[in-house]
Amino acid sequence: MIRHIADSVQLHNGIKMPWLGLGTYKVKEGNEAEQAVRTALEVGYRSIDTAALYQNEEGVGKAIQDSAVSREEVFVTTKVWNTDQGYDETLRAFEESRSKLGLEYIDLYLIHWPVKEKFKETWRALEKLYQDGWVRAIGVSNFQIHHLEELKESCKIKPMVNQVEFHPLLTQRELLNYCQQEMIQLEAWSPLMRGNQLTHPTLTQLAAKYQKTPAQIILRWDLQHQVITIPKSIHADRIAENADIFDFELSVDDMKQIDAMNQNKRFGQHPDHFQF
């Protein structure tokens, strides 16, 4: 059972990744990014998620470098953007991200979206970065089962992580089951549905029952489904609140109640129809 903010899951290559992390999508470069990461590390978070697209890698990196927490204790994720995909392009993009972050290595490097006719070559570049020791783990984001099956046809190393939109309105049960069978760790982006549906009766009733907030109920639901979660916030109180999910456990019946909220509803783009 996941009982502490420092608890982690072992990826299929043996590397440990924290169950809880700070997301930084739409967090502004500079002081906003630095302060959010600094606060998270002070609260006890040990995983920070960014991406080239977010344009805040410098601020994220500076906060990590300036922190009293040692680099070895912080799990850093970034991602290659769609316009940088391809073998050589990805190697260049990685070096740019690593330079902006100011780090010697990256813990997890992801393909941000499955760009057709490119993601296999992009993956080949990630395999090289992994084999050369520049990254400790490699994975994908927004990959559906058919993308993962296609990647399996040519990859030498199976993805360690698949980061996807996952929340009570989009439970992705088939994908979750597939990834668990394949030993690919599922990770949730936008776990709090971008602030939508937090007043849903099921969530408010469970929040009252457990004396937690609806957001905390959702994040605990993620963890009990063995899904890594990375809620985003720039507010110190909310960053702390999102981490206060390790002192209670949802019952089996209450987990099923949340599962039943599923509508296959996305707040982001569909991986088969994204326009980037």
User: Which regions of the chain does DSSP assign to beta strands (E)?
Assistant: 8-10, 16-18, 22-23, 47-49, 75-80, 106-111, 135-141, 161-165, 185-189, 228-229
CA separation for the pair 244, 215 (Å, rounded): 10
87 is annotated as an active-site residue: no
CB atoms within 10 A of CB 182: 16
Q: At 68, list the tokens.
A: 């009293």
Residue 167 tokens, joined: 């929340």
**Nearest residue to 143 via CA among 164, 118, 170:** 164
Q: Of 54, 87, 105, 210, which one is the catalytic site residue?
A: 54
Task: For residue 26, give every residue at least 6 positions away whose Cβ sits within 8 Å of its Cβ, in sequence order, or none.
Answer: 54, 232
**Could you give the residue ranges of the DSSP H alpha helices within 111-158?**
119-131, 145-152
The catalytic residue positions are 54
